[in-house]
Structure 1
Amino acid sequence: MHPFFSILVFYDQRWNEEDVCRLLSTCFSQFYSHWELWLCPYGAGSVFSVQSFENRWPGAKQKLHFLKKTSTKLEALNWVLTFAQGEYVVLIDPSVQLSKEALFVFVVTINRYPDLLMAFSDEDSMDESGNRSDPIFKPGWNPELLRSNNYIGQAAIYNKQTVLDRLSIAPLLDGQEEWDLALRIGSFDCDKDRVVHVPRILFHRRDSKQAAGQNDREDTQRLVLEADCRRRGKDEVTIKKTEEGWHLRYSIGPLSPLVSIIIPTRLPLPYVHRCIESILSKSTYRNFEILLVINGYGSLDQEQNAFLSKYCNLKQLRLLWYDQSFNYAAINNWAAKEASGELLAFLNDDVEVISPDWIEEMAGHAFRKEVGIVGAKLYYPNLTIQSDGMILWKDYRRFHGMSRELSGYLGLAKLCQNLTGVITACALMRRELFEWIKGFDEEFAYNWNDLDLCLRLKERGYWTVWTPFAELIHYCSVSVGRESVDKQREWEEERELFEKKWKEKFPSDLFYNPNLSDSAPFYRLGTTPWDIKAWGKENKE
């Protein structure tokens, strides 16, 4: 397949002829030659003729087309799509330059994924001398992150018919066309490769650390998100601006469904006392029940008996007695059958609530039909990050040890996003979905049961959501008790079982860019980047 591309260049009075020529130069240098280019001036942008460029590029007359000036970029886009001949379109302005292999790499991608609707790539900055810096190595297709921040920008190609179909719904929002379009095109279907990330730097932005195409007009960005929520039937969403991007809080409706909080425990005091008290005293959502599942209770001491006596008559707390040997997966599966709530919250007995609205934040996501499970942001007692989601085949912890105040790479430590897995020291999901998927796999008694659950949900088309707006302290692995004598041996045995089960099905984590490091600290440049040009000191295109 040799697809034809239409490169659509939009510019206003901010860009002069030299700016446009700099972009055209990168287009005429493409390895792949099956393309056309439309110059689309709007506002007070200059109007050029083919004579302006023929001396520089002999093939300009055949390749270049000129749209009449329009009032707005959106008007220009609507007009040019009626003339463009390409099966795929690139929407850019002179702030962007294409790498020489850009179109060729996209052709390879299209041939691999013939039903492609959109593909996007990584990008970096390039100064006037061709020096490159400030790379953005993006996660794969991540609709939750895209709502938090337009991490795709202009570094993308689109199926033209798909663009026309989406435009028929309603006009794009002027000033945020690329973000609006990406949200309209993006599908929640995990299994169809319709939106693909190419982990190569194919676009260069001119001296900007923001993703190319981002517009910082807050009012227009809000309109984009409001329109996206309406299209998805999510009218009751609170949209707030944050320093890193946007926070969408989904309503759980007026009926206040019951949340069953399941806490397996060996009664390690004072941890479990702190956990229970923080839920009872801090949680602003009140329609919950706590199922305290006591395991290994043969010889309770005086302090533990006093603790149970204090809480045994509490209306919101039920004491359950599990008399089998410790198996985290089995305990939770058994307790889930005893639960009464529509939602199940899995909680370790050594966590402490920080965010009073943690239940509202997580439940709002859990009730979305496309979401399988929701994870929280967990800290050590000194408020450095203990866990904020998992990177498959690498580590349980992405920004482990980083301060609560820091945003991390691309702001990812403070933006809601899809991840491959979250840990169930604090996680929440719909009960009917948990029952349908038959709960945790009890072969994973100590480790990997949470990630296994996330992958089984992913396999069936559900997304895992991680939110930084539900925060708790995690004192770490107190729940396991004293029975786990050889934790390292158990970890290795269960890891081997996990790899046997999942390695072939999910060989890599699409939410973690392969150009980044394979080991902690994560989100730094890897030793063997996929990008052909390991840019740095002297690399120039």
Structure 2
Amino acid sequence: MQLVPVTGVRQAPESPEWEAVDIDPQFLLAGHIPSGWVEFRMRAGSRQLMRMRLYLDRGAGFHEADCIELGTVATVRPVEQRAVFFLPPDTCRLRLDPMERPGRFTFDDVTVRRVHRFELPARALYRRWLSLPGSTIRRTTVLLSELRALIGPDGLRAPRVLATPGYPPDVAPSPAELARQYTVWIRRSEARAADQKRLRATIAGLRRTPTISVLVPVHNAAERWLRRCIDSVLAQSYPYWQLCLADDASSAPHVRQVLEEYAARDARITAIFRPVNGHISAASNSALDAAQGDFIALLDHDDELAPDALLHVAALLNEHPDADMIYSDEDKINEDGVRQEPFFKPDWSPELLLSHMYTCHLGVYRTELVRRIGGFRLGFEGSQDYDLVLRLTEQTDRIYHIPRVLYHWRRHPGSAAASADAKPYAYAAAHRAIREALHRRGAVATVEEITEARGNFRVHYAVSNQPLISIVVAAPNTGVIDPDCIRALFDRTAYPNIEVIVVHDGRNDEQLRDLLTFWHTQEPKRFRVESLRTPARRSRLMNHGADCASGDLLVFLHGDVAVGTADWLDEMAGYALREEIGAVGPVLLRPDGTIDHAGFVLGIAGGIGHPFRGFPAHHPGYFNRLLIPSNVAAVSSTCLMVRCQAFHAAGGFDDELSGAIGDADFCLRLRQRGHRTVLLPYVRLCHYAPEPEVEKTAPRQMSLLRRRWATYVDHDPYYNPNLTRTRSDYSLRI
């Protein structure tokens, strides 16, 4: 097809290249447009990152909802891009947007040809089936599970890319791309959920219909937003609710008028008028005093509930009647009613909660438990709900997450949703709430606020008595030990009480022998060598090193990793020494300054994903996940700390597994024993040579991991199901 420049692009002078002159270059594709399943091919290259998108005009112009991601290119030499997708028959024009920034690029050989709907997918599936180990039944089972991860709720006819061979490393989606994705996600994911017949059937099928009291503290709310807030409760598809509106002595006369009007309209609405302003904690307690429901839900006076919010809560309570706390995903809504910035949250993550009030909206809590712990505490205004949740979760572990956007947080000038600096007192209250929570729990720790991300914190646990830490450096036949790795352990590590154990397979390597001899001479009390005298996987060498270790804590470290900051062991040990924690890992950086490892996500493309891989080191991550401690399904044994007792109780590493698969298996066995895995993203080491063995062994070993841990591979508890399952960049599943 012929490229016809439309806007923002021109032929580069004296060059075969094109040049984007602004942030939105566009081409029209001139030529015959087939319909149905098509194969799109082109060659593209650029010094700049190219994130290519194809827009469809289906008779009403080009819209974000009809857009297909074609992938990214970041190589100067042109490479072939190929994608297979479904073109609706009413498509009359195609627009190709090559990138989102000025720069030069190459485009040629653009073709769009019709294919049989099963031609290319069938070939790819057959090749994948042949590569899998085991019997015919086993191969087929694994392949079907991988397909479930790749196919979203709209099925194969969704206008999406099915195959992009040679897809480059993940790159963070731009804000514009995230906004586009969310527009598409809303249209596709929420349309069927609004089916009224199905909603009525859901309500009729509920065995339990608990009353949910919605608490709304009100103070001088703008009439427009106050009405929208109350109307969103009246519009709930679930009818068994009570709305408790507590006016905190508002000076604006319209507030009383509006509250009295709605209270007279519906008997389920209770209006309370406080005679004296006491701020939001006191007003919330007044609403709590009026609550008659089994559960309370918190709603701010200018925000909105999704129409089916309480129905989804009731449905979960029917499935889990023991629930004490329920929270959902959320987004922001601007003054024009446009929804943006969705926050798709993980399931219950205690370390993340101590770093950020991530559960926030919509929060639903058992009324009796809230009253038992004293309701909302005065003095924590702005973070009174954070303080409440920290205290409540010390009393129960019956906490459930609904992975749906049930709450719309109003964004307008002066709101916390619009600016992180709108309510500075809230951050001081949050800081205090965390400190008091740690004190109640008997933890000796300090709390650091992240200045570049207000409302986010890091907890640093103190390490008492400096227990011995055994650092196990495994050197299989395919592995190397960089001299700087060992030197940094002794010269650039502040923690003094360490022993370094190098475990190798007995190979006759003169360079390795000289290195080990040198350090045995330099550090005779803190350095030793163990040999299995037989070829072995890294997992077996690590297990042998653990058996030989004397420390209370074990650190498994690859020989091609260099220590960064001097306090890396202190930071990791503070977490690893806690009984509820299992494995602790840092972020690993590549020599070029990009991220190599930041924990694992299970179930990406049916396997194990590397979130944020390829992102620049300074990137904050999805909702600041690269700034603050959080729980992950697994971390890499490239650098992993664990208590010696917990390691042996879990059975160590599986000798038959290696790389990311072996690490995931080990961390899941720790989880099975009640120990959480933690990523500390501010602890950073440099990984010089990422292991190739993961890719080599993945097809054979992944089926074993799936047999053992199918529940977690199908649903990683720390990765929201609304996020993509084909990449690791935290983009949306559309």
Task: Confirm or deny a common fold (TM above 0.5).
Answer: yes
Q: Distance in 2 between matches of 1:26 and 1:32?
A: 12
1:474-499 Cα offsets, whole Å, 9 max, x none, are: 12346x8xxx7xx6452211111111
Which of 232, 237, 245 pairs up with 1:31?
A: 237
Other-structure match for 1:306: 514
Q: Which moved more, 1:179-188 or 1:278-287?
A: 179-188
Partner of 2:531: 321
| Corresponding residue of 1:422 | 635
Q: Structure 1, unaligned stretches of length 5 or more?
A: 528-541
Structure 2: distance between partners of 1:205 and 1:240:
24
String of CA shifts for 1:115-172, please: whole Å, max 9, x gaps: 1111111111223332222211122221111111112223211111111122279767
Moved more, 305-314 or 161-170: 161-170
Q: Which residue of 2 aligns with 1:534?
A: none
Q: CA deviation at 1:447?
A: 4.8
Counterpart amino acid of residue 294 in structure 1: H
Distance 1:57 1:100 in 2: 20
Instruction: Answer 1 or 2: which has greater strand percent.
Output: 2
Q: Taking structure 1 as the reference length, what is the TM-score of the superposition? A: 0.88
**Residue identity in the other structure for 1:247:** R
Query: Residues 488 and 360 from structure 1, CA distance in 2 versus in 1: closer, same or farther, beyond 3 angstroms?
Result: closer
Matching of residue 18 in structure 1 with residue 227 in structure 2: no
Question: After superposition, where does 1:226-305 map in structure 2 within 5 Å?
Answer: 226-244=435-453, 245-253=456-464, 255-266=465-476, 271-297=481-507, 299-301=508-510, 303-305=511-513
- Deviations for 1:204-252, whole angstroms, at most 9, x for unmatched residues? 1112696699854332121011111012111333434342311110011
Partners of 1:50 and 1:60 within 8 A in 2? no
Letter of the structure 2 residue corresponding to residue 281 of structure 1: D
Report if the CA contact (8 A) 2:503-2:529 is conserved.
yes
| Higher RCO (Cα < 8 Å, 6 or more apart) | 1
Q: In 1, Cα distance between the equivalents of 2:578 and 2:417?
A: 29
Indicate yes or no: 2:645 matched with 1:432. yes
Paired positions, count = 514
Compared with structure 1, are the counterparts of its residues 45 and 143 closer, same or farther at alpha carbon in structure 2 (3 Å cutoff)?
A: farther
CA shift, 1:112, in A, is 1.2
The answer to whether the aligner puts 1:65 opposite 2:274 as a matched pair is no
Report if aligned partners of 2:503, 2:544 keep a CA contact under 8 Å in 1: no
In 2, the alpha carbon distance for the partners of 1:513 and 1:436 equals: 30
CA contact (8 A) 2:599 2:632 kept: yes
What amino acid is aligned across from residue 439 of structure 1 in structure 2?
Answer: G
Give the distance between the partners of 1:249 and 1:43, measured in 2 at CA: 41
Q: 1:381 to 1:246 in 2, by over 3 A?
A: same
The correspondence of residues 47-446 of structure 1 with structure 2, limited to 5 A, is 52=258, 59-69=265-275, 70-167=277-374, 173-186=380-393, 194-207=398-411, 216-217=424-425, 218-244=427-453, 245-253=456-464, 255-266=465-476, 271-297=481-507, 299-301=508-510, 303-313=511-521, 314=523, 315-394=525-604, 395-446=608-659
Q: Give the aligned residue type for 1:23.
A: C
Q: Unaligned regions of 5+ residues in structure 2, if any?
A: 1-207
CA contact (8 A) 1:327 1:446 kept: no
Q: Deviations over 1:67-106 (max 9, x none)?
A: 4244122222333323210111112222310111111111
Bigger Rg, which one: 2
- Whole-Å separation in 2 of the counterparts to 1:419 and 1:310: 38
- C-alpha separation between the residues in 2 aligned to 1:102 and 1:342? 48
SS at match of 2:411: coil
SS of residue paired to 2:236:
coil
What percent identity do the matched residue pairs reach? 29
Q: Is the 8 A contact 1:172 1:181 kept in 2?
A: no
Pairing 1:473-484 to 2, within 5 Å after superposition: 473-477=686-690
Structure 1 residue 177 displacement after superposition: 1.0
Contact 1:188 1:370 in 2 (8 A): no
CA contact (8 A) 1:96 1:204 kept: yes
d(CA) in 1 for partners of 2:689, 2:609: 13
CA distance in structure 2 between the aligned counterparts of 1:97 and 1:489, rounded to whole angstroms: 50
- What is the letter of the counterpart of residue 131 of structure 1? V
Give the distance between the partners of 2:443 and 2:279, measured in 1 at CA.
30
SS at match of 2:669: helix
CA RMSD of aligned residues (A): 2.6
Amino acid at match of 1:176: S
Would the alpha carbon gap of residues 330 and 446 (structure 1) be closer, same or farther in structure 2, given more than 3 Å must change? same
Normalised to the residue count of structure 2, the TM-score between the two structures is: 0.66
Deviations 1:277-323 (A, max 9, x none): 121111111110000112242x222x333222211222321111121
Query: Which shifted more, 356-365 or 514-523?
Result: 514-523
**Local SS of the residue matching 1:469:** strand
- Matches of 1:114 and 1:522, distance apart in 2: 35
Shift in Å, 1:327: 1.8
Aligned residues of 2:263 and 2:271 also touching (Cα < 8 A) = no
Structure 1 position 196, deviation (Å): 1.2
Contact 1:267 1:304 in 2 (8 A): no
Query: What's the CA shift for 1:503?
Result: 0.7
Letter of the structure 2 residue corresponding to residue 471 of structure 1: R
Distance (whole Å) between structure 2 residues aligned to residue 169 and residue 368 of structure 1: 29
Q: Indicate if the aligned counterparts of 2:722 and 2:732 stay in contact, CA closer than 8 A.
A: yes
